[in-house]
Amino acid sequence: MKVIGLTGGIASGKSTVSSILKSLGAVIIDADVVSREIMIKGTDTYNILVSVFGREILRKDGEIDRRKLGNLVFADKEKLNKLNEITHPEIIKRIKDIIEEERKKGKEKAIVLDAALLIEMKLFNMVDEVWLVVVDKKTQIRRLMKRDNLSYKDALNRIKSQMSIEDKMKYADFIINNCKDFNAIKRQVELLWGRFSK
């Protein structure tokens, strides 16, 4: 079973591509979901994050408020690096475990690892191919502001915190252009899937 690494900047359309691939029969591993799971109240990661960043990152129910944590770290590179230092090893370990579990099942043609930080976390070493979703900056900012209810400045900070698309392109085996409509992106994904799944 092969593994596709799906990446792109925040709000580039990775989730759309991931949904299309799921409908075509791929197993999806979403790094954001894994990230949420390792931060659940009571986990070691949760306890470390609260110790490092303080109780102000918590919601009323005691769970981590990812928006508060995001606003804190995306405005401060040192804090972002600390967050990554704490969470990335746990995320990588969990993703490796899930890939191994899916390979043992062996039911699907391919596994898709959907991860915005695929390159930054060196997850590309765990995949057979890297598919990069690209979108123009203006559309990316607009989508991010709408999706996460962010100000222009906060959206820009989150985009700037990630590796540039130009740098990510150096690692990409295939580039999916998400500057048009849904049908255009669907056609691109179906063509790639048809070639990949043979």
Question: What pLDDT does 74 receive?
Answer: 86
- The dihedral of CA 7, 8, 9, 10: what is its sign? negative
Question: What pLDDT does 151 receive?
Answer: 93
Does the structure show a pLDDT above 70 at 126?
A: yes
Does the structure show a pLDDT above 80 at 86?
A: yes
Reported as a pLDDT band with limits 50, 70 and 90, residue 81 is very high
Q: Average pLDDT, stretch 26-33?
A: 95
Angle at 122 between CA 117 and CA 123, to 5 degrees: 75
Q: Pick the closest to residue 101 from 111, 91, 109, 92 (CA basis).
A: 111
Neighbours of 182 (CB within 10 A): 11
Give residue 114's region: left, alpha or beta (phi > 0; psi -120 to 50): beta
Q: Which residues contact 167 (CB under 8 A, 6 or more apart)?
A: 119
Tally the residues of the chain.
Answer: 198
Question: What pLDDT does 109 receive?
Answer: 79
The mean of the pLDDT values for the chain is: 93
Q: Average pLDDT, stretch 113-127?
A: 94
Give the predicted TM-score (pTM) of the model: 0.88
DSSP 8-state assignment for residue 164: P
Does the structure show a pLDDT above 90 at 49?
A: yes
Does the structure show a pLDDT above 90 at 161?
A: no
pLDDT tens for each residue of 165-177: 999 999 999 999 9
Top CATH class of 2-35+90-196 equals alpha beta
6 backbone dihedrals φ, ψ, rounded to 5°? -105, 120
What DSSP string runs through 59-115? -TTSSB-HHHHHHHHTT-HHHHHHHHHHHHHHHHHHHHHHHHHHHHH--SSEEEEE-
Beta bridge partners of 112: 4, 28
